[in-house]
Amino acid sequence: MTVRVQTADFDAGAEILGLRRGDPKIGAIASFIGLVRDVNDGESVKGMILEHYPGMTEKALEEIVSEARSRWEILDALVIHRVGPLLPTDQIVLVVVSSAHRGEAFAACEFIMDYLKTRAPFWKKEDTAQGSRWVDARASDDRSAGRWEQEAEVPAIRPSR
């Protein structure tokens, strides 16, 4: 289980290879990459700065991964989240999960992203044509994270919503 917060870009292919290399128990890998878009809430975005809380951010990510591990039969997991200045099309976050079967990998990967969005201390400040603005938290992200509370009793099933 690895968690990294860094300014540098990442190579998803190399990271996935590093995670799966030489482990014949792995039958499935699910991965997610979040990217910077050039538009948000109706305004064009020229770039953004991602701030974090050194120490707490890494700890929060480790706790989220450990929670995923307690809910699903996963073999390994990796989270890389970038901070600092980013431009549209840049990669922001990578989540990779390995497991014996796809159900666990898909579910754990989505769970880690949903919890990361609402529990890991990162803040985005966007640079728009109207000046810079701090991004507001979304209620839809709280709902996405909240659905895992109800589904805690049926861990291997992927949510249908």
Phi, psi of 140 (to 5 degrees): -65, -30
Ranges of H-type helices in the chain: 12-20, 56-71, 102-119, 139-150
User: Applying CB under 8 A, does 67 fall inside the site for other proteins?
Assistant: no
Rounded Cα gap, residues 67 and 118, in angstroms: 14
Q: Considering the complex, state which of residue 24 and residue 54 has its C-beta at the smaller distance from other proteins.
A: 54
Q: Which of 36, 107, 108, 113 binds other proteins (CB under 8 A)?
A: 113
Q: Considering the complex, state which of residue 136 and residue 153 has its C-beta at the smaller distance from other proteins.
A: 136
Judged by CB under 8 A, the stretch of 22-30, 97-105, 130-138, 147-155 that binds other proteins is 130-138
Judged by CB under 8 A, the stretch of 11-19, 65-73, 101-109, 133-141 that binds other proteins is 133-141
Identify residues 84-103 at the interface with other proteins (CB under 8 A): 92-93
Strands 84-86 and 122-128, by their bridges, are unpaired
Number of residues that bind other proteins (CB under 8 A): 28
Q: Considering the complex, state which of residue 17 and residue 56 has its C-beta at the smaller distance from other proteins.
A: 56
Through-space distance between the first and last CA atoms of the chain, rounded to whole angstroms: 28
Residues 62/1, Cβ–Cβ less than 8 Å: yes
Q: Which of 6, 43, 66, 134 binds other proteins (CB under 8 A)?
A: 134
Only one residue has tokens 């999960």, namely 97
DSSP 56-94: HHHHHHHHHHHHHHHHS-EEEEEEEEE-EEE-TT-EEEE
Identify residues 5-64 at the interface with other proteins (CB under 8 A): 34, 50-53, 55-56, 59
Residues that bind other proteins (CB under 8 A): 34, 50-53, 55-56, 59, 81, 92-93, 113, 116-125, 134-138, 141
